[in-house]
Amino acid sequence: MNNPETMLSAYRLRKAFGGVLALNDVSFDVRRNQITGIIGPNGAGKTTILNLITGIYPPTSGNILFEDKRISGFKPFQVASQGITRTFQNLQVFQNMTVLENVMVGLHTQTRSEFCSCLLHLPKVGKEEKMVREEGYDLLCFFNLGKKADWLSSDLPYGEQKRLEIARALAGKPKMILLDEPAAGLNTKETEKISELILKIKEKGLTIILVEHDMNLVMGISDKIMVLNYGQKISEGTPRVVRMDPNVIQAYLGKE
């Protein structure tokens, strides 16, 4: 990988689940500080790509390079320490913890205290706790969740839980964030807010991969879009190019 503008590159990714081939020789690049959208009909393999990048399972074959480092085959926690975090299609907010605590967990990679120090509550632990609590709270305020910091996260309305998940993913100061259907289940107004939020995240310098079904959202904010169907890449380019691509139109309309 030579181009310094390329943050992540995937080469000939394949993923088989038993007899089912979820991804078939997919290659792509993600450019630094850009929003790369991934779209495609259900089952096309979009979430599979995110799962491969974040190490939920290893690829059957193929490579993933992140800033020139091979991360395919890494465990998820190792991927996180490289600077990649994510949200989940089926919302994996920690329901058993408060809103603030969720974000504090997000700061795990920024802190060091281990079992022994925590058991003994050494002074450095106290200092770290204070830092984590303050930073977490600041982040919640940025996401307009500050007032509900002590709420049990399962008591938040759905849209706010989705925001919380994004806040948590950002807490660890990642270089790249993967958003898996952040607008799923949201109404138009909430989707607009998510759209603004994602742009604000981009302004902060992050690189974003966005998997989404909401066409307005994806077309509206992506710098580049990749289209998948049946585990293969069928189109790639700017939103305008992709929108006109007959392959894409057929993949979506041909279904009906």
Partner 1 sequence: MGLREQVFQYIISGLTLGAIYALVALGFNIIHNATGIVNFVQAEFVTLGGMLMYSFYSFFKIPLPFSFLLSTAAVTVIGALVERGPIRMAKSKAIIILVFITIGISSTLRGTALLVWGPDNMPIPSFSGEKVIRIFGAAILPQHLWVFAITIGVVIFLQYFFYRTLTGKAMRAVSANRRAASLAGINVNGMILLSFAMSGGLGAVGGMIIAPISTTSYDTGVMLSLKGFAAAILGGYGNSTGAILGGLILGVLESLGAGLISSKFKNAFAFLILLLVLFLKPSGLLGHGEAERV
Partner 2 sequence: MGRRSGCSMVLGERKNLFLIILALLIILIPVFVKNKYYFTVMNVIGLNTIVVVGLNLLIGFGGQISLGHAAFYGMGAYLSAILTITHHFPPWPTMVIAMLATGVVAYFVGYPSLKLRGHYLVMATLGFNIIVNIFMVELDNITGGPSGFAGIAPLSIGKLTFDNDYKNFYLIWAFAFLCIVVSLNLVNSRVGRALKAIHGSEVAANTLGINTDHYKTKVFVLSAMFASLSGSLYAHYLSFISPRSFDFYYSIQVVTMVIVGGMGSIWGAFFGAGLLTVLSEILHVAEKYNIIAYGTLLTLVLVFLPEGFLVGLYRLYQKRKMKALIGGNKD
Binding site for partner 2 (CB under 8 A): 54, 56, 75-77, 79-81, 85-86, 88, 92-98, 101, 104-106, 108-109, 111, 113-115, 118-121, 125, 128-129, 132, 148, 150-152, 155-156, 168-169, 172
Q: Return the one option of partner 2, partner 1, none that residue 128 interacts with (CB less than 5 to 8 A, by type).
A: partner 2
* Closest by Cα among 226, 205, 4, 182 to 86: 182
Smallest gap from Cβ 46 to partner 2, in A, equals 17
DSSP codes of every residue in 5-71: TEEEEEEEEEEEETTEEEEEEEEEEEETT-EEEEE-STTSSHHHHHHHHTTSS--SEEEEEETTEE-
Q: Does position 85 bind partner 1 by CB under 8 A?
A: no
CA 135 to chain centre: 21
Residue nearer to partner 2 on the CB measure, 206 or 227: 206
Smallest gap from Cβ 32 to partner 2, in A, equals 21
CA pair distance 156, 175, nearest whole angstrom = 28
- Read off the tokens for 180: 């898996």
CA pair distance 217, 181, nearest whole angstrom = 10
CA pair distance 145, 162, nearest whole angstrom = 11
Smallest gap from Cβ 4 to partner 2, in A, equals 26
Q: Which of 36, 51, 85, 229 binds partner 1 (CB under 8 A)?
A: 51
Q: Return the one option of partner 2, partner 1, none that residue 101 interacts with (CB less than 5 to 8 A, by type).
A: partner 2
Residue nearer to partner 2 on the CB measure, 25 or 135: 135
Q: Does position 88 bind partner 1 by CB under 8 A?
A: yes
- Positive or negative torsion for Cα 164, 79, 76, 133: negative
Q: Does position 17 bind partner 1 by CB under 8 A?
A: yes
Longest dimension (CA), the chain: 64
Q: Which stretch binds partner 1 (CB under 8 A): 65-73, 85-93, 123-131, 146-154?
A: 85-93
Q: Does position 77 bind partner 1 by CB under 8 A?
A: no
Site residues, partner 1 (CB under 8 A): 17, 47, 51, 56-57, 88-90
